[in-house]
Structures are given as C-alpha cells and as structure tokens.
Homo-oligomer: A and B are copies of this chain.
Amino acid sequence: MTIQTPATELLKIKLPLIQGGMIWCSGWRLASAVSNAGGLGTLGSGSMYPEVLQAHLTKLQAATDQPFAVNLPLLYPSMEEHIQSCIDFKVPVVITSAGSPRIHTERLKNAGICVLHVVSSASFALKSQAAGVDAVIAEGFEAGGHNGREETTTMVLIPAVRDAVQIPVIAAGGIADGRAMAAALALGADAVQIGSRFAASQESSAHPAFKEAILRAGEGATQLTLKELAPVRLLKNPFYQEIQSAYLQGASKEELEALLGRGRAKKGMFEGDMQEGELEIGQVAQSIHDLPSAAELTKNIYSDCVDTLRDLARFTR
C-alpha cells in the first residue's frame, strides 16, 4: 500500500515526499539518500559554483538510479550555467524558486525536464501554471529561507492554491513529521516538500554546529526578516540581531545589502559560525530533537503519515 497521487505519477517517485533543496545543506549525499528511500532528493544549487554542481550531479547519478531534482533559486548567481548543467546531465526534475517561472520553464521543458516552481500565493501559482510549469510547490510563511511578502501560512495557502490551479500542488512549510504530512494531504496537497527536518539529518552538509543549533531551537527561535530586500526566515542569532538593530536605526536597502553580503550564509550554515553567520531554518526547528539518517526520516515520516490517516479513518466508519 502506497500513497499514489498526481505528484508521485508526475515525478515517478514511490512516496509523495520531496526533500527541499537548501543552500549549504543539500548535496549529493542527502539527495541520493532520499531518492534511494523512495522520495525525491534535491540538490540545492544556490550555494554551488557551476563546477561544484556538476561534481555533485556526477556523484548523485552514481549513487542513485531513482529520480532526483535540482533546485534553482533564481536570485543566486550562476543560474544560466546551472540550467545548462541540468540539461547536459539530463536531470529529471528542476525546481525553480525566488524568481519568475516565465524565464526558464520553456527551455527546461524543451529539454525534457519536469519543472516545478515554488510559490507563496495563489496568484503566483496561477502565473506559474500559465507559464507552463508541471506543478507548484506552495510554501507557507513558516518555512525557512526565502519566502513571500504576503506571510500566508501553509494552513491558509494550500487550500487557496489547490482551488486556484489544476496542476499538482506540493505543500511546503512547517512539515517535519507524519502528522503534518497527513494534514497537508487533507488541505489538498498531492505531496509535501520537507526542508528543515532534512537539514538536521546525518547526510545534510550543514555544519555540525548549525545542526546543534537547530536541535536547541525553541518556540519563537526564528523570524522572517529583510522583507524589503528578499524576505528570509532566519534563526535569531547575533547576526540576526545585527540586522534587527540596523532596521531600528532605519537602515537603507543598500546598507542592509552590505550588512548581509553574500558570504554570510556559507559562514553560518556551512562553516559553523553561529555568531556572524546567516542561519536559514523553518519554524518547525522547534520540534526537531535528533539527527537521524535521511532514509530513516523518509521512511518514518511516510509511515507515520499512513498511521495518522488510518487513525483518522475511524471517524468515517
């Protein structure tokens, strides 16, 4: 018995579960572990130079014969080269985010690639569908990393996107266990995308100090900030506090950009500087207390989802 949906059919995966592509956390080890466990593993290309992505693609293809994805956060550099790499390596699925779906979808689809776009509103979901994407990933306010200005939460966003489009809808934001996966299916999603939970897994390439910080995160430990620049949910560390004081002193967009720089995310998530680094993680970090393997996580979340649905089925008899 497996949960088959339009999303598992589209992506040719066994379980309706996508591991979110996360900068500095999701290389070939994590992606292959998830794909081999029946989900869709994803390389987060935002933090990679072109030759680094190519090296990860080579290793990933050697480590799995199952479908996988590459996430292209369009606000990062090297996207043109990354797209060519995806075409050259015959990547089965590309997930575009943080940009317009109109720019690259046609080229990717012409190369036989399945294209998913990340949206934070029903109106963007409609635009993405019109741009020809195969499915949308609707990501709520609670999600880590880059996010929408409308602040719409997963609970409100998924039914709205479900009602707006005809293509498969994948729910993201706040999902880290089988209960939330079942809830997403109830809201109308055809699959889930899970990021933060996999950032805190054995195969995640996050620095051990960042993984420890995720385990320690409590309620209210993250905040959506930099709304004028590009809204992003961060762990409230000293670097975050620096951003907040800059805000309170009325910093300009340029000053905020200078403060942010580009090296901050690497410094925090990959090099483990918990003071001066930028730490992107979702609200659901508050519920993460261990560091299992990605295969265990995939299997447990899925089987807990099935158990939850079985438990709820008692109300229908």
Contacts of A159 in B (CB 8 A): 177, 179-180, 287
Interface stretch (choices A100-108, A181-189, A261-269)? A181-189
A180–B151 Cα distance when bound, in Å, is: 18
A315–B308 Cα distance when bound, in Å, is: 11
- Report how many copies the assembly holds: 2
Contacts of A1 in B (CB 8 A): 315-317
> How many residues belonging to A are interface residues under a CB distance threshold of 8 Å?
50
Shortest distance between the CB of A48 and any CB in chain B (Å): 29
Q: Is A98 an interface residue (CB 8 A)?
A: no
Contacts of A183 in B (CB 8 A): 155, 182-184, 186-187
A1–B317 Cα distance when bound, in Å, is: 7
Closest to A163 in B: B287
The reply to whether A182 and B174 contact each other, CB–CB distance below 8 Å, is no
Q: Is A47 an interface residue (CB 8 A)?
A: no
A residues 166-185 with Cβ under 8 Å of B? 173-175, 177, 179-180, 182-185
Shortest distance between the CB of A123 and any CB in chain B (Å): 6
Closest to A222 in B: B151
Contacts of A317 in B (CB 8 A): 1
Contacts of A163 in B (CB 8 A): 287
Q: Is A198 an interface residue (CB 8 A)?
A: no
The reply to whether A186 and B312 contact each other, CB–CB distance below 8 Å, is yes
Q: Is A283 an interface residue (CB 8 A)?
A: yes
Q: Is A156 an interface residue (CB 8 A)?
A: yes
Q: Is A301 an interface residue (CB 8 A)?
A: no
User: Would you list 23 pairs from A and B whose C-beta atoms are within 8 A, ordered by A residue?
Assistant: A3-B315, A123-B219, A142-B153, A150-B220, A151-B283, A153-B153, A153-B154, A154-B155, A155-B183, A156-B287, A159-B180, A160-B219, A160-B286, A179-B186, A180-B186, A182-B186, A183-B184, A185-B312, A186-B186, A186-B309, A309-B316, A312-B312, A313-B313
Q: Which 5 residue pairs across A and B have the least CB separation, nearest first?
A: A150-B220, A155-B174, A183-B183, A182-B186, A183-B186
